[in-house]
Structure 1
Amino acid sequence: MVSEAKQSSKTKSKKRQQIWEKFPWQTLSTSLPIIGVDEVGRGCLAGPVYAAAVIINPNKPWQHYTDSKKLSESRREEYAEQILADHQVGIGFATVEEITELNILRAALLAMKRAVEQLGLHAGHIIVDGNQRIPGVSERFEQTTLIKGDLRAEPVAAASIVAKVTRDRLLKEAAIKYPNYGFEEHKGYATPVHKEAIQKLGPCALHRPTFAGVREYL
């Protein structure tokens, strides 16, 4: 019984190692630019969903693999400025209205498409964080989906950071126009403070009317 438990523990550990294993993204193409793409804000109750697309400058490699949400705000800001200065970046978003019309998944994919288009390329190889290919992108772009891409491939990690910092800045600015919701703190995520503010004040124009936690108070 003990050996079975050990074997089960080893199996689980091996699975975790496979999930976190670094992805050899540099081998995807020798002729096409490799583009890391990630989005942020899908689970929020308010605000647009943002995406970024990043091409790593080979002369200035980026080695910070991590989930952008796990970084401190100051470190994210520092990294984002470095990425924007050293690498090629495209940023896209989908509005609250588009989220309502399309649903959050399709809106997130639309934001990703717009981020890629911002790069102004005619072809490339896209690494998409997650398991969904980006619809509507030119056939000249190859696509590879990568679960936990922000932890496994530098271009996706960089895209994750830029997308989050860009969106967070927008929500901080929104806090001035819509005070008392705490946007400057929770950035639209479904925290207890945010939920309580919606209950007391009702939703504002930034809130997503189709989302549970918002629609009940319209």
Structure 2
Amino acid sequence: MLCGIDEAGRGPIAGPLVVAGAILLENIEGLNDSKVLTEKKREKLFEEIIEKSKYHIVFSDAKMIDEKGISYCLKNSILEIMEKLKEFSNEFLMDGNTSFGITTLQHKIKADATIKEVSAASILAKVSRDRFMDDISSLYPNYDFHKHKGYGTKAHIEAIKKFGKSDIHRISFKLKALGEVEIGIQKSLF
């Protein structure tokens, strides 16, 4: 059985990276790339995926992203998923253009829109991350995380200008809008 893998939260400036793996045990209608589905549809499918699959979801917080780098976090999350789900699958497919040096991981661009297991993983990752950002929003009332989920929207940038970065902001992500420039060293993928 195929295990699809996808991530949510690679690009935001705050909050976690979330990577999910899903092995479908039953057919699920309406699966697609999470980004093209409405929030209501994603939420409904999320519950169905939980019921009809073997899955594993991994969170990497902003501190780990800053310390180890986004590629390291992605690779480690994928390896954890592969380890947790190996008794149910020996075939793993990641959405995107790289296998992160993992020889037993296949990859395909736009797999989240064309391979149902990867679509399911895409939905698990996005809904899990969105729920997390909604849940913590009240702890950080100055930033309205429930509205932009940590992405670099104009309102979010303005909040950072006014209040500074919080402990869930990714310090290593430099923002041109704040006059920040990348001067750090590149984190190794391996």
Sort the TM-score into its range (normalised by shorter chain). Answer: 0.7 to 0.9
Distance in 2, matches of 1:105 and 1:215, equals 25
One-letter amino acid of the counterpart of residue 172, structure 1: D
Higher helix share: 1
1:1-218 to 2 correspondences below 5 Å: 33-57=1-25, 60-119=26-85, 121=87, 124-135=90-101, 142-213=104-175, 216=180
1:53-79 per-position Cα deviation (integer Å, ceiling 9, x unaligned): 00011xx21343422122111111111
**Looking at CA atoms only, which structure, 1 or 2, has the larger radius of gyration?**
1
One-letter amino acid of the counterpart of residue 158, structure 1: A
Distance in 1, matches of 2:164 and 2:70, equals 21
Unaligned runs of 5+ in 2: 181-190
Query: Aligned pairs, how many?
Result: 178
One-letter amino acid of the counterpart of residue 14, structure 2: A
Contact 2:61/2:168 (<8 A) preserved: no
Which has the bigger relative contact order, CA under 8 A and spacing at least 6?
2
Unaligned runs of 5+ in 1: 1-32
Distance in 1, matches of 2:144 and 2:72, equals 27
Alignment partner of 1:131: what SS?
coil
One-letter amino acid of the counterpart of residue 162, structure 1: L
One-letter amino acid of the counterpart of residue 8, structure 2: V
CA RMSD of aligned residues (A): 2.0
